Structure 1
Amino acid sequence: MTSGQTIPQVRLGATGPVVGVQGLGAMGMSEFYGDTDEAAARDTLDAALEAGVTLIDTADIYGRGANEEFLAPFVAAHRDEITLATKFAVVRTDDPAHRGLRNDPAYIRSAVEGSLRRLGVDVIDLYYMHRRDPSVPLAESIGAMADLVREGKVKHLGLSEVTGEELREAHAVHPIAALQSEWSLFSRDVEQSAVPAAAELGVALVPYSPLGRGFLTGAFTDASKELSETDYRYAHPRFSGDNARRNATLLEPIRSIAAAHGATPAQVALAWVHQRAAVHGLAVIPIPGTRKRSRLLENTAATHLVLTDSELDLLEPIADQVAGSRYADMSSTSAAREK
């Protein structure tokens, strides 16, 4: 199934802009998934815009600022055509394994200035809190983010990996346009409280890793054997050893449905995510990441694939059978704070 048409559009939540119904995660263009190719990545950005993909997603930790800098020329050339999203909160050091969290107002102000400078813009369209630090009152953090809106540095606010209760608390301080959380055939814990809250409040869901970091596509079956040690997925709990072998068996219904449609497993996995919008009554804009034009076009074609009720029934049990957690350390996820 190939794409020869642009993707549909949807409003990014009740308070957000109109965007293509599928966005592009730029993280892998700078690091995490093995060797990078800048020329191919820039060609992919051009292909995205041609296909109607207008939500471009990055974060200050991707490449420790390098991803924002990489995007700057593309942003400058197409500023009025794209919705630019970036994030703050995760702090990295020279230790590649270290991940700290900061949600305090002073850090938020420092972080936004850094992102504005690296991206070469005067205003960020959608500014996310990348992860919640429970030691900082949420109202304090959202208040600081709201100040950025009032000052014209940010247009819309977003959160990532928060519970439904936290989303309601934040929305009461300032309207939240989007919630970015992992959501795929392999990862559905977001449905416990965050999705119902988002539907109630008119907040859009922006699923990251909708392709299970590539595992749902069948691109690899055991990360520890097939991917390099520099790949972020190399030691991921779900993708190595016995877990990988068990999870690979869960791909069979995805493959059979893909064959019936003349589609790819990736397109079926993305179509499932897109159809969550109708199931739960909210806008859903997944942001699959890729560095290749061919994969970008494959992904956008999924916006025109409609799965039948019987096919959805076949896919329904998958998430409950997945072996291994989303991360080795789940402490910064919304699932860790669900009651």
Structure 2
Amino acid sequence: MTATVFRIGGDLEVRRLGFGAMRLPTEPGPEREGSLAVARRAVELGVTLIDTAYMYGWGANEELLAEALHPYPDGVHVTTKVGIGRTVPAGEWTQDARPAALREQVERALRRLRVERIELLQLHRLDPAVPLADQIGALRELRDEGKIGRIGLSEVTVGELAAAREIVGIASVQNRYNLLDRAHEPVLAACEAAGIAFLPWATVAWGKSGATAEVAAVAAEAGATPTQVALAWLLGHSPVIVPIPGTARIAHLEENLAAEALRLTEQQRARLDRLGEQD
């Protein structure tokens, strides 16, 4: 039977189906109230890992989650990401993993999330303009100071992951990956070999799974939705995968979490596996 929990870094136990908060509207008004309700419903339904980032509204998403959930129930963890900044005056995003910038972003995230320690902090992107040892070293210092518990990376290659692990222990990797897009299969394999959590984003290919005949056929056979099939496939594909599907609607949230109970047959899984062999 597919495990329903995973221990990130070997000790941070989370439910394997998490929640990605990126899509939650943060502007004042009815949509924001809906966002608060979705975040609270996720926790009510047993979600223990919620993913956000400084880049999601430049801190507004973090503030939204704190408003919705603080004080956080026992076992609920909000993971955030740093290493992205805004250009001036255009306001466009740019990589910024200078040690001083990372420290400032972590300090601000602590305040916005209303915590003294972020149990899992991920570097949103490696910054090609900053030596890897400086970027990872800064996060290691923050971990040693107790401000973050575990360090993760996002959108990295096998080589980058290996190089980072020579500097500090890496607890998670967050790369784009789903049933129809498996370009990072080698990274997933490296994570599995090392027991590193793999948090795929774009878990259901932005809804395109339902447009694929094979996925739709399996969904019809299983009495499930294509989204649920895509998530169930991820959960069974590797024991280190911790999907973080996102939505701004409670109905969709409940649909996503119900995927945990879906059991695909070996034949169905084999048919879905073959989708990754197509161009």
State TM-score, norm by structure 1: 0.76
> Secondary structure of the residue that 2:97 maps to in structure 1?
coil
CA RMSD, Structure 1 to Structure 2 (Å): 2.0
Amino acid at match of 1:8: T
Question: 2:189 — aligned with what?
Answer: 196
Show the 5 A alignment for 1:102-251.
102-192=96-186, 194-216=187-209, 218=210, 248=211, 251=212
Alignment CA distance shift 1:173-1:132 (3 Å): same
Amino acid at match of 1:173: I
Question: 2:218 — aligned with what?
Answer: 257
Question: 2:8 — aligned with what?
Answer: 12
The count of residues paired between Structure 1 and Structure 2 equals 274
Report how far residue 11 of structure 1 moved: 1.2
Question: 2:20 — aligned with what?
Answer: 25
Deviations 1:118-177 (A, max 9, x none): 212211111100011123222221111011111111111110011112112212221111
* In the alignment, structure 1 residue 304 sits paired with structure 2 residue 261: yes
Kept in 2: contact 1:59–1:87 (CA 8 A): yes
Kept in 1: contact 2:123–2:152 (CA 8 A): yes
Amino acid at match of 1:255: A
Question: 1:41 — aligned with what?
Answer: 35
How far apart, in 2, do the equivalents of 1:256 and 1:199 lie? 30
Gaps of 5+ in 1: 1-6, 219-247, 323-339
How far apart, in 2, do the equivalents of 1:272 and 1:303 lie? 10
How far apart, in 2, do the equivalents of 1:319 and 1:95 lie? 39
Deviations 1:35-73 (A, max 9, x none): 982222222222211222100110001011110111112
Moved more, 99-108 or 313-322: 313-322
Question: 1:287 — aligned with what?
Answer: 244
Alignment CA distance shift 1:211-1:150 (3 Å): same
Deviations 1:247-302 (A, max 9, x none): x4xx111111111111001100101111112xxxx421100001122111111111
Kept in 1: contact 2:14–2:49 (CA 8 A): yes
Kept in 2: contact 1:30–1:36 (CA 8 A): no
How far apart, in 2, do the equivalents of 1:101 and 1:54 lie? 29
User: Which of 45, 54, 62 is the matching residue for 1:51?
Assistant: 45
Amino acid at match of 2:224: A
Amino acid at match of 2:106: V
Alignment CA distance shift 1:155-1:95 (3 Å): same
How far apart, in 2, do the equivalents of 1:121 and 1:77 lie? 9
Alignment CA distance shift 1:183-1:36 (3 Å): farther
Kept in 1: contact 2:40–2:69 (CA 8 A): no
How far apart, in 2, do the equivalents of 1:36 and 1:10 lie? 35
Kept in 1: contact 2:119–2:149 (CA 8 A): yes
Kept in 2: contact 1:184–1:269 (CA 8 A): yes
Amino acid at match of 2:197: A
Kept in 2: contact 1:181–1:190 (CA 8 A): yes
Report how far residue 317 of structure 1 moved: 3.6
How far apart, in 1, do the equivalents of 2:74 and 2:131 lie? 35
Residue identity (%) = 39
> Secondary structure of the residue that 2:166 maps to in structure 1?
helix
Structure with more contact order per residue of length (Cα contacts < 8 Å, sep ≥ 6)? 1
